[in-house]
Amino acid sequence: MRAAVFRGRKEVAVTDVEEPTAGPGQVKVAVAYNGICGTDLHEYYAGPIFVPTAPHPLTGGQLPVTLGHEFAGTVTEVGDGVEQIAEGDRVTIEPVYRCDQCPPCRAGHYNVCQQIGFHGLMADGGMAQYTVVEARMVHKLPDAVSLELGALVEPMAVAYHAARRGNVDAGDTAVVFGAGPIGIGIWFALRGLGVEDVTVVEPSQVRRDALVPLGATDVIDPETTDPAEHIAERTGGRGADAVYDAAGVQPAVEAGLRCLGSHRQMIAVAIYEAPFPVSLLDLVLRESGVSGSLCYTSEDYRAVIELMARGRYDTTGWVSHIQLDDVIEGFERLHAGKAMKLLVEPS
């Protein structure tokens, strides 16, 4: 079968590899779509970062590895002992390997497992015609959710988990910094949670324009509008009930802290590439805080799938498709800012 194999920095080969089969407790999936994520770009241009160069403690996987952790497809084989999943089921995959034993796992927060691994980084992933996963990673898609949307459940679950960590309620005011796939996902999640008053801050005109057909009504350019002044005006000086940083840069974090209302949280979801100085005085003066958000749990997956089934997600204008053979060209387009989310079609 064909697969996009990562062998090291700037080395991804679309090549023939052995087709996997489902062992006990495993499920084989024919991949319909696999999204390219910023993490894949980091591996390609600056890696290996997350891809291990020695066997991963949970998966045993290491370089070289087939990329792809955002995918959906159709079950073609189930291993011994797998119940409730059958050949022909349309599924999306929650690509997390966890140890079940460390303190976060035991507390139910397996998204911050001390040994966490990802299918498509620490084990061969979904940028291939077929991939084999653990049965517990499988989420069935209802008829109303297409395989295309199914491949977006992973990044949308990252965003949904972050949105929930802001402790928002219907009627609240929220601000999202960055309108990449994660920022857009936070916008969808907030709307799904009943938060209608959402301001999106994004310097790229193309990305600001992409949000309008989705229904975003307050999208500002931080280069011409001061976000904190804008939010103070919108809230009568109260400040935002939740702020999300999906940009990962100093100006966004600085502006975000100034937008926060008292006793409220800024949720840091970006993977910060470098440390930078920020003043915590804005937090002190409002007794507000900053919390991180990592991945998702199956609860977030179920919530996103349900919102998708209710028609609350729209791919218009920000999602496009490419063939597996063109995956490197896809990396280049994303890297150059010429696309926002690309779904690879392996078959």
Sites of contact with ligand NAD (CB under 6 A): 38, 158, 177-183, 201-204, 207, 222, 246-249, 251-252, 269-271, 293-295
Residue 245 makes CB contacts below 8 A (sequence gap 6+) with: 177, 178, 252, 253, 256, 266, 267, 268, 269, 270
Q: Which does 102 bind (CB under 5 to 8 A by kind): ligand NAD, Zn ion, none?
A: Zn ion
Q: Which does 201 bind (CB under 5 to 8 A by kind): Zn ion, ligand NAD, none?
A: ligand NAD
The pair of structure tokens assigned to 181 is 């796939």
What's the CA gap between 309 and 289, in Å, rounded?
Answer: 34
Q: Does 113 bind Zn ion (CB under 5 A)?
A: yes
Q: Which does 247 bind (CB under 5 to 8 A by kind): ligand NAD, Zn ion, none?
A: ligand NAD
What's the CA gap between 91 and 140, in Å, rounded?
Answer: 4
Q: How many CB atoms neighbour CB 93 within 10 A?
A: 30
Q: Does 102 bind Zn ion (CB under 5 A)?
A: yes
Minimum distance from residue 126 beta carbon to ligand NAD (Å): 16
Minimum distance from residue 214 beta carbon to ligand NAD (Å): 14
The pair of structure tokens assigned to 126 is 């979904």
Q: Does 105 bind Zn ion (CB under 5 A)?
A: yes
Q: Which helix (H) or strand (E) holds 181?
A: helix 181-192
What's the CA gap between 116 and 110, in Å, rounded?
Answer: 8
Minimum distance from residue 255 beta carbon to Zn ion (Å): 25
Q: Which does 266 bind (CB under 5 to 8 A by kind): Zn ion, ligand NAD, none?
A: none
Q: Which does 177 bind (CB under 5 to 8 A by kind): Zn ion, ligand NAD, none?
A: ligand NAD
SS3 261: strand
Q: Which of 1, 63, 99, 328 binds Zn ion (CB under 5 A)?
A: 99
What's the CA gap between 66 and 6, in Å, rounded?
Answer: 6
Q: How many CB atoms neighbour CB 310 within 10 A?
A: 11
What binding mask, one character per residue, do residues 6-45 give for Zn ion by CB under 5 A, x or -? Answer: -------------------------------x-x------
What's the CA gap between 286 and 228, in Å, rounded?
Answer: 14
Residue 20 or 178 having the CB closest to ligand NAD: 178
Minimum distance from residue 296 beta carbon to Zn ion (Å): 11
Give contact residues for Zn ion (rule: CB under 5 A).
Answer: 37, 39, 98-99, 102, 105, 113
